[in-house]
Structure 1
């Protein structure tokens, strides 16, 4: 019984290592293949395919993890009274997740776009609801529908996460201010919210 438990633990550790390495490898090269991921993880291709029968399965698993992490952060942050405060808290808390999973933005535009888009659906709905709340409360602009505006602001966060600004406090500050500006928050308020988050 203890042997089965250690074997299961070992399999889970290998799977987690593959996923972690895959994020790094795909972050450097979104077109990287399973062989490159296997080499970087220090395992043979067969091991990678044993855990993830296809590249799509690997991408789906990465996306599912990202969605779970982002939805949890967003749900917690959305409890703030004002929508602009909630957005700033969300960006500050989601920053490590956004930076870690930034490759999904590039992959979303490629062959796995449809699968990634469908898995990100729950996060998209939560973001649109938050932006709608901000529009209803007149803290966010109404120049676009909430669903479109939320995606633009959210993509600003991922764009900065994928840039040279990504490291440290300057990246999260830039992402918070830029996304709030996209949402129509005045610059002084966006800066103040960023400094507070």
Structure 2
């Protein structure tokens, strides 16, 4: 392998390590600075700034990574042709493993980077609103709120459960999925049946 390709690979690995560590550090403290992230990643601040010229650049890159993962999952489950409530349940079940990683974006969305994060999360918000609208049109989901608002309420519940589960580890994906379905107006018996024996 050439020196150049080894250097490129090392640069990519360092960048990805910084991103992974940043999610953990910001997950613990949404106000953590670039120095905190550098220390946790085992690099100097200059290295972090070489990859991400500002904290906003870092947060934006984390958000873009989350959007890529979430839209891929949601697009795939949407393509199944299942009822909207079954599609939602599958989406949450598939998303759950990364929910803990990306929950910090919701906290950051309410802060100084709110506008930037909101803009980047647009594709996910639109896909969720479309799914909820499909459920409303099929009388599967409640209609007391517009689809875009109802989808955010139900989706927010998933992250709220993830936050609670993070502290004691006793709730999990099953509770998050059932609760979000209830928020969407799905009867409890149907929500429980959709989740089945998932943990």
Same fold per superposition (TM over 0.5)? yes
Q: Which residue matches 2:86?
A: 85
Check whether the contact 1:83–1:130 (CA below 8 A) recurs between aligned residues. Answer: yes
Superposed, which structure 2 residues align to 1:1-197 within 5 Å?
Answer: 2-80=2-80, 81-164=82-165, 170-195=171-196
CA–CA separation in structure 2 for the residues paired with 1:133 and 1:181: 17
CA–CA separation in structure 2 for the residues paired with 1:47 and 1:168: 35
SS at match of 2:53: coil
CA–CA separation in structure 2 for the residues paired with 1:153 and 1:71: 17
1:170 shift after superposition = 3.9
CA–CA separation in structure 2 for the residues paired with 1:167 and 1:131: 31
Deviates more, 1:32-41 or 1:93-102: 93-102
Q: Deviations over 1:139-186 (max 9, x none)?
A: 101010000000000111111112236787841001100100000000
Q: Any runs of at least 4 consecutive aligned residues in structure 1 with deviations exceeding 3 A, and if so which?
A: 165-170
Check whether the contact 2:165–2:171 (CA below 8 A) recurs between aligned residues. Answer: no
1:100 shift after superposition = 1.1
In structure 2, list runs of 5 or more residues that go unmatched. none
In structure 1, list runs of 5 or more residues that go unmatched. none
